[in-house]
């Protein structure tokens, strides 16, 4: 419902702005329109009896709500926003399970892209919800054209899986192909010096090496093996296929045509879309002459009120869910980042709110600024002293992301969550060769030996590097100590499992970094139980979206100016060369966001991506 009202508000705003520009509508008239919108209530969409919920797997799913800037930009540019939060997807599937008007869920995998934006931990949560829906006796039907491992991971939870006769499936295992920039930096005269702690801290390797170090290769291989093993076990159980057979398919076939996929038991039917529609008509008791089966889109069905859901209840006692998604940066950060000061303020407010009885910190972050992580971790510790703080790890909660989790009451993770990476580093760049090659030189006058140690004009001396290393060592030891105290582990054991090493969720549980295997729902239920709330409580989410008036009269001017300035749209490239160039762009963007005041970072390897 909230998402519908936001989209409606944004759409109306675009119309109103057009009227202002071209018709000169008065401010009073604008305010009247806004008040009318604010006072209107939408009863929700109509759901017909025996309907199927259509879940388009190409939809973008994230932890947080879209920012006001994104809503305005998409509205004014005419781009349709097909996006839901993971929380909303899980709630909507649960709502459909208990709704007598809903007889099934149709997983539409004819378009790709959405599932690829999620990691396997988030996909695991959605898959669990689908299995729970199916266990109620209702049907789940999946139909696709070209399945990758991620789309099929979800679709394999269905009762019936159908593949287009011209379709195909890719089952070739997982890989990670990090990009190394050291050669390019050297070629163009950019010097890089690194100070770090932890033999597995591979975050800096793309800047100083041309290939993976043996340690980084070993940890990446173990991580991929764990996640691939979970994929084979989960898919194999649903499809009654031995994991060893799935391994043989990946090793020997990789790309399966429709008939081969059916022969191997990966799909149940080979069918055209009209044949699938015919089957769905039978399920929904639709007439043969009707254009399609009786259906409602997942996003539309999410707008149907259901007061049994914690997020829609009205109760005095509340459980707060704080979504920490993105890079951890010093200061407030923007809507796509975890600003240390901004999130510390959120926890400070939650701690003083007597109606909030427990907190779930949902982390989806590779880490970032060590200083910002410490600012947040302090507020988590203070909040824990007055009410339970439970952590739910999403696709990735590592380095700084684990730093802020370490002092909570309990940590939940999925088997395929990427976590750990307890290590720190600093990157020291210099442009001496680049400048000198182009006729630029520097000179220096100073009053003390290290007065110009921050310079970009030259490499750091051995003495200066020793100073930076001392700072990194201090912060690393602080990190170890915090993990040891928060997890109640001996410091020696933490030192052994740290070293910047990355772990899967299942491995992290075995070594004591995680308490329970479970998703966001499990963490929320545990938090409510710890606070002894029974059934009478309400879910409250943070960061809160600004109100419609705040968006219009506060940040809107700059956002509209950016949009009207013909900001480039985010169009997904299909050209392989373009994709690789965008990877380089992302690498550089990560470095641009590195703003720790001490220059020390707790972060995953820059380009750890599982494909």
User: Any alpha helices (H) in 99-145, and if so which ranges?
Assistant: 120-135
Kindly report the backbone phi and psi dihedral angles of residue 394, in degrees, each rounded to the nearest multiple of 5, phi listed first: -90, -135
CA distances from 546 to 16, 36, 225, 350, 551 (A): 19, 19, 43, 17, 6
User: By three-state DSSP, how is residue 71 classified?
Assistant: helix
Give the separation between CA 426 and CA 429, rounded to whole angstroms.
10
Query: What is the H or E stretch that residue 6 is in?
Result: helix 2-23
Contact 424, 472 (CB under 8 A): yes
Q: Give the count of beta carbons closer than 10 Å to the beta carbon of residue 304.
A: 19
The distance of Cα 489 from the centroid of its chain, to the nearest Å, equals 29
Place of tokens 């090493």: 501
Give the separation between CA 411 and CA 402, rounded to whole angstroms.
10
Kindly report the backbone phi and psi dihedral angles of residue 57, in degrees, each rounded to the nearest multiple of 5, phi listed first: -70, -5
Query: What is the H or E stretch that residue 160 is in?
Result: strand 160-171
User: Can you spell out the DSSP letters for 289-354?
Assistant: TSSS-SEEEHHHHTTS--TTSTTT---SSEEEEEEEESEEESSS--TTEEEHHHHHHHHHHHHH-T
Give the separation between CA 608 and CA 517, rounded to whole angstroms.
23
CA distances from 324 to 62, 242, 245, 277 (A): 11, 38, 39, 40
Give the separation between CA 145 and CA 141, rounded to whole angstroms.
14
The residues carrying an active-site annotation are: 201, 399
Residue 581 makes CB contacts below 8 A (sequence gap 6+) with none
Residue 55 makes CB contacts below 8 A (sequence gap 6+) with 105, 106, 107, 108, 298
Contact 339, 373 (CB under 8 A): no
Instruction: Give residue 78's region: left, alpha or beta (phi > 0; psi -120 to 50).
Output: left
Token pair, residue 516, equals 């329970």
Give the separation between CA 181 and CA 201, rounded to whole angstroms.
17
Token pair, residue 116, equals 């690829």
Contact 440, 544 (CB under 8 A): no
Give the separation between CA 339 and CA 330, rounded to whole angstroms.
6
Give the separation between CA 194 and CA 55, rounded to whole angstroms.
47
């Amino acid at each position: 419902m909230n998402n519908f009202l936001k989209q409606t508000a944004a759409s109306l705003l675009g119309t109103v702005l057009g009227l202002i520009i071209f018709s000169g509508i008065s401010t009073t008239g604008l305010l009247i329109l806004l008040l009318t919108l604010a006072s209107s209530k939408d009863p929700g969409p109509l759901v017909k009896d025996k309907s199927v919920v259509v879940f388009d797997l190409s939809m973008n799913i994230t932890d947080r709500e879209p920012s006001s800037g994104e809503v305005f930009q998409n509205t004014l540019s005419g781009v349709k926003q097909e996006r839901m939060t993971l929380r909303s997807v899980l709630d909507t599937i649960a709502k459909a399970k208990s709704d007598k008007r809903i007889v099934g869920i149709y997983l539409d995998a004819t378009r790709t892209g959405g599932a690829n934006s999620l990691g396997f931990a988030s996909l695991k949560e959605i898959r669990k919800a689908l299995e729970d829906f199916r266990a109620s006796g209702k049907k789940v039907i999946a139909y696709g054209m070209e399945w990758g491992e991620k789309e099929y991971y979800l679709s394999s939870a269905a009762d019936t899986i159908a593949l287009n006769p011209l379709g195909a499936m890719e089952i070739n295992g997982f890989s990670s192909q990090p990009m190394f920039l050291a050669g390019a930096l050297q070629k163009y005269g950019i010097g890089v010096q690194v100070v770090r702690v932890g033999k597995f801290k591979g975050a800096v390797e793309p800047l100083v090496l041309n290939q993976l170090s043996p340690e980084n290769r070993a940890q990446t291989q173990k991580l991929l093996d764990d996640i691939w093993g979970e994929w084979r076990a989960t898919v194999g159980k649903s499809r009654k296929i031995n994991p060893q057979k799935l391994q043989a398919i990946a090793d020997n076939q990789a790309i399966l045509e429709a008939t081969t996929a059916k022969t191997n038991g990966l799909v149940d039917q080979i069918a055209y879309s009209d044949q699938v529609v015919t089957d769905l008509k039978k399920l929904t008791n639709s007439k043969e002459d009707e254009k399609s089966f009786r259906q409602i889109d997942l996003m539309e069905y999410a707008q149907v009120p259901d007061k049994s859901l914690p997020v829609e209840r009205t109760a005095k006692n509340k459980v707060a869910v704080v979504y920490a998604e993105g890079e951890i940066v010093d200061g407030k950060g923007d809507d796509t980042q975890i600003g240390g000061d901004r999130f510390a303020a959120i926890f400070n407010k939650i701690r003083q709110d007597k109606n909030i009885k427990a907190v779930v910190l949902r982390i989806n972050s590779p880490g970032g600024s060590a200083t910002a992580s410490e600012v947040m971790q302090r507020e988590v510790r203070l909040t824990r002293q007055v009410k339970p703080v439970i952590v739910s790890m999403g696709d990735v909660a590592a380095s700084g992301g684990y730093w802020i989790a370490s002092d909570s009451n309990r940590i939940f993770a999925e088997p395929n969550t990427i976590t750990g990476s307890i290590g720190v580093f600093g990157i020291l760049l210099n442009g001496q060769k680049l400048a000198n090659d182009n006729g630029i030189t520097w000179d220096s006058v100073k009053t003390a030996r290290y007065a110009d140690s921050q310079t970009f004009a030259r490499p750091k001396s051995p003495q200066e590097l020793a100073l930076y290393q001392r700072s990194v060592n201090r912060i690393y030891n602080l990190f170890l100590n915090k993990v040891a105290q928060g997890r109640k582990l001996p410091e020696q054991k933490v030192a052994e499992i740290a070293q910047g090493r990355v772990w899967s969720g299942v491995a992290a549980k075995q070594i004591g970094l995680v308490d329970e295997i479970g998703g966001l729902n499990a963490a929320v239920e545990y938090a409510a139980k710890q606070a002894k709330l029974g059934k009478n409580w309400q879910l409250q989410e943070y960061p809160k979206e600004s109100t419609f008036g705040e968006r219009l009269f506060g940040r809107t001017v700059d956002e509209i100016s950016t949009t009207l300035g013909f900001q480039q749209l985010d169009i997904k490239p299909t050209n392989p060369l373009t994709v690789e160039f965008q990877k380089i762009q992302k690498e550089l963007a990560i470095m641009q966001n590195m703003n720790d005041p001490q220059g020390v970072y707790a972060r995953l390897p820059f380009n750890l991506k599982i494909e």
